[in-house]
Amino acid sequence: MAAVRQFMTQKGAPDDFAIPGGLAKLNLVGGGFLIWRSQPVSMICFRQSQSGMSYLFVLDRAGAKDSPPVEPEIVTVNGRSCASWTAGNRIYLLTGAEGVDVRSLL
């Protein structure tokens, strides 16, 4: 995780994100840097199962017009369970591996 955080720092993306307890139990695969609406986004990748990955996206709250609530909102999009929430100055979006309920990762 230290290498992922260092990479995000170098890219100017959020590096002070919190990893939910259930997600922290998975194998960290790596991370990536994205731009969404001109804002830097951190993407942290976890192996959920042999065939599936779960992804945590983190962006600065100031970069979004509307923030999700503090309590995670859970929806299903294209067969994937997703959660979004706000914590401090960060917005989080978690997508579980196909068929996995993200509640178990929070």
Query: Taking 80 as the threshold, does the pLDDT of residue 94 lie above it?
Result: yes
Find, among 85, 5, 70, 3, the residue nearest to 42 by Cα: 5
Average model confidence (pLDDT) for the chain? 93
Q: pLDDT band at residue 97, thresholds of 50, 70 and 90?
A: confident
Contact yes or no for 106/22 (Cβ under 8 A): yes
Higher pLDDT: 52 or 73? It is 73
Query: Taking 80 as the threshold, does the pLDDT of residue 30 lie above it?
Result: yes
Q: Look at residue 16 in the predicted model and tell me its pLDDT.
A: 96
Contact yes or no for 31/54 (Cβ under 8 A): no
pLDDT in tens, 59-86: 999 988 889 999 999 999 988 899 999 9
Q: Look at residue 51 in the predicted model and tell me its pLDDT.
A: 65
Gap between the Cα atoms of 7 and 53, Å rounded: 20
Query: Taking 80 as the threshold, does the pLDDT of residue 49 lie above it?
Result: no
Give φ, ψ of 41 to 5 degrees: -130, 135
Q: Look at residue 50 in the predicted model and tell me its pLDDT.
A: 73
